[in-house]
Every structure is written in structure tokens, then in C-alpha cells.
Amino acid sequence: MKDESLDHFHQAFGQLAKTLPGAEFSWLRAARRSAFDQFDALGLPTTRHEDWKYTNVSAIGKRPWHFRAQRTDDSDVRHVIDEFKLDPAGHRLVFVNGRHVPRPSKLNGLPHGVFVGSLTRALREMPQRLEAAIASQAYTDGFAALNTAFMTDGFAIVLPPGEVIDQPLQILFLTDEAGLAVQPFNVVLAGARSGCTIVEHFVGLSDDAYWTNAVTRIVADEQADVQHYRLQQEGPKAFHIASVAAAQQRGSCFTSHAFAFGAALSRTGIGTSLNAANAQATLNGLYFIGDRQHVDHHTRIDHTEPHCTSREYYRGVLDGAARGVFNGRVIVHRDAQQTDTHQANHNLLLSRDAEIDTKPQLEIYADDVKCTHGATVGQLDDNQLFYLRARGVEERMARALLTYAFARDIVERVRIDSLRGRLENLLFARTPEGERIRELL
């Protein structure tokens, strides 16, 4: 039976398919068509799907989104770009309403043979390097399929073997257009013994409703080291759907840091597959929300080969009538002997109306492993409050200090000084008595 609620997606694809970047390549036209056909078959997920049981995205399907931005330059946002730069002298790519804008972007002295640039430029200069990452995707839900069908821009990073980018690469996505559906597709191909640090930063500049649907694919070859950060500060009425998928080879290291502060509704899926011995993965995350915000994180770590290690630490702070969802799935496959994995999710509820649904999952099919996991949900510890009150700290300040300390545990894991400072400022802004805490510290 035809789903008439998706008619506007059909109309948009019919109008835009021939004008999207890379339309001159037959393999990309075929990949887009196949992706849209799969979206047509899958539709948007509903709460009847187990992985979407607690996150209702029906509002996304009901809105008549447009997929072509009316403005893609920096003329109206130039005054705010400086505010969000991590390092004035550092590397950055800036995207406005889903399109790369060259003027505020800056790349300094990249190693020989390294490519860092927009997806549209990469399709012009090295389409053959992107074909496998784009055309061989398997779609578990309609959002990822829709991204491939409509992808307009994004970033591409290609590191030859042995090349390391010392400075962080900031990828700044700014959106201010009402009703726009932004579809960034990002790809990182890290050759053997290469390394880079990437910061994806999503910022909403208006109170209008818009939708970001982002996909990032990462391939870490033997002994590559990829440090990946996501900072989500979308607008108060925005929708944010994201997928990050990494594939790791022998001795590689993948570290993910995910921070969610914005959006009315956001859902981030982060997964990695440890496909060869001695690979390491670390997934860190913090969500700090209030009012009626809804934030969902689904993570998956696949241990497919022996002698691999993974660590996962997520924390959430929820106030008002906010709702959080965390599902962390670790699968230790049959051949993954001597796996060492640990997962923890801790949540702090600051109000009676705040809610969290947490589900740590550990599936073990090997017998020589070291695996632990756990989750906690609660309010501020009465003993810790009493300790601070007994030393003359007023109750409101004591609660604020404990809240700040709880969230800062994840922020302290950030290796980039400027980003860590920005995150601490966000904690101060979100925490009652934040300015007083800043003065004390």
C-alpha cells in the first residue's frame, strides 16, 4: 500500500535527482536511485520498530521539507562564524545551509597527498575514491537511505599511508533556513599509520524548524588513529538525525566524542566494527537537555576479531520535561576471543518530569572474554549534598556544583583545549549558578 505521507519526498527527488552533485556519474545516479527505492520500501521508522521504540519521528515525515537551500553563502552569517571558530589559525571547513562556503574556510599547510575538502570538490577530483563508500552502503533505516538519495554536500578527508594532520579539522555546519532539509554526507578514508582529529560542529542560527540528516563514514586502515568529535547545538525547533559508522583494521584506534545540547528532537547513531586484531575503540558521550527536548543515542560496537579492546562512557543530565534515550549494544562475535570491553551509562534527573530510557546490551558469543556493562539513573546524591551543606555551601549552589561535576567527567576526556573550554562554557550556561561556579574554579 502506498504511503501518501511520503509523496513530497517523491516529488522532491523527481525534481532534483538530475541536478544533484555527481549526476554525471552513472554509478552515483544508480546509487541514488537504489537508495531512494530502499527509502520508499523502508519509509521512516516508527515506534513499532524496536530501535525506535522511544523516539517518535512522525513529525519529520509530516512536514513539507524543501531540499534545495535558497541561500548558500556566508553573507548573513559572517558575523557569527568567528564566535564558533575553535582556533582562528586552525583548519576549518564551513558549510551554510548544507553547502560549502570557501571564504571563511581555511586549510593551512596540509601534508603532501592529503585531501581535505567538500564532497562536491571530491566528486570532481577523485570520484573513484568515493564510489565504494557511497555505493556499497547497507541501509538499516530510511534516514540513511534518504541521505544518499539527496546528499548535496559534506566533507571528504583522504589520508595517504603514514600522513598525520597535527591540528584538529573543524567542520562547521551552520543552518538558518526555515523548512530546509540538510543532507550532509561525510567520508574519512585514513590510510595505514595515518591520523587526524575531526570536529563536526552543528549550529542552528534561528528559531525556525529545519532538519539535519547527516551521515559520516570512517575507514581506519592498519594502525590508523581517527579522533572524531560531534558537537550538536541545533536550534530549539530543529530536528537532528545522524549516523556515524566506522570500520577498523589491525591496530587501528577510533575515538568518538558525542555532545548533544540542542534540537527539539535528535537521534544519533554511532557504530564501529573492529575487523582485525588489536583494534581499539572508545565511545564517549554527554547529553545535557531541558524543557521538552528529546535526545536519543544508539551505539553499536562489533567485536569480530580477537584481541580487541573497547570502552564506552556516556552520561546524561535531564531537566524540565526532557526525555533521553540511550541504547548501547556491544556484540562479541564467535571468533573474537580475548575481547576486553566495558560500557557504562549514568544519568542524572534534575526534575520529576524528566525521563530516561537506558538499555545497555552485551551479546557474547565467545568464551574467553572480559566484558562488563552497567547503567544508573537517579537524582543528586543526598550524602554528597549533605557533605557540601555541612561545609557552608548553600543548597542551590551545592546542587549546581554536583551537576557540573557529574557532566564534566565526560568533558575532561576531550583532548582539544579550545573545544574543552567551549564545552565547559556550555556547562556553565546550562547549570544554575554557572557563573558563580566559574568564578570559584
CA–CA gap between residue 295 and residue 264 (Å, rounded): 8
Let me know how many helices (H) and strands (E) the chain has, helices first: 11, 20
Measure Cα distances from 332 to 277, 326, 362, 371 in Å. 13, 20, 8, 9
CA–CA gap between residue 117 and residue 102 (Å, rounded): 10
Task: Give the cell for residue 276.
Answer: 582485525
Q: What is the 3-state secondary structure (H, E, C) of 225-282?
A: EEEEEEEEECCCCCEEEEEEEEEECCCCEEEEEEEECCCCEEEEEEEEEECCCCCEEE
- Could you identify the residue written with the cell 500500500? 1
pLDDT of res. 78: 77
3-state secondary structure of 291: coil
Cα separation of the two ends of the chain: 61
Mind listing the pLDDT tens digit for each residue in 90-118? 899 999 999 999 999 999 889 999 999 99
Contacts of 15 (CB under 8 A, 6+ apart): none
Task: Give the cell for residue 283.
Answer: 565511545
pLDDT of res. 5: 67
Assign 3-state DSSP to the chain and report helix, strand, coil percentages, each to 5: 25, 40, 35
Measure Cα distances from 381 to 21, 210, 377, 386, 388 in Å. 54, 39, 11, 9, 11
pLDDT of res. 163: 97
Task: Give the cell for residue 79.
Answer: 558575523
Q: Phi, psi at residue 400, to the nearest 5°?
A: -65, -40
CA–CA gap between residue 86 and residue 93 (Å, rounded): 12
Our measurement of the distance from residue 293's CA atom to the centroid of its chain's CA atoms, rounded to an integer in Å, reads 17
CA–CA gap between residue 164 and residue 159 (Å, rounded): 8
Q: Are the beta carbons of 301 and 310 closer than 8 angstroms?
A: yes
Measure Cα distances from 337 to 150, 326, 334, 371, 402 in Å. 41, 27, 7, 11, 40
Mind listing the pLDDT tens digit for each residue in 203-250? 999 999 999 999 999 999 999 999 999 999 999 999 999 999 999 999
Q: Phi, psi at residue 115, to the nearest 5°?
A: -115, 125
Q: Which residues of the chain have pLDDT under 70?
A: 1-5
Rg (CA), the chain: 22
pLDDT of res. 82: 83
Strands (E), 350-406: 355-364, 370-378
Task: Give the cell for residue 343.
Answer: 560500557
Alpha-carbon torsion (18, 23, 25, 30), positive or negative: negative
Angle at 75 between CA 69 and CA 81, to 5 degrees: 100
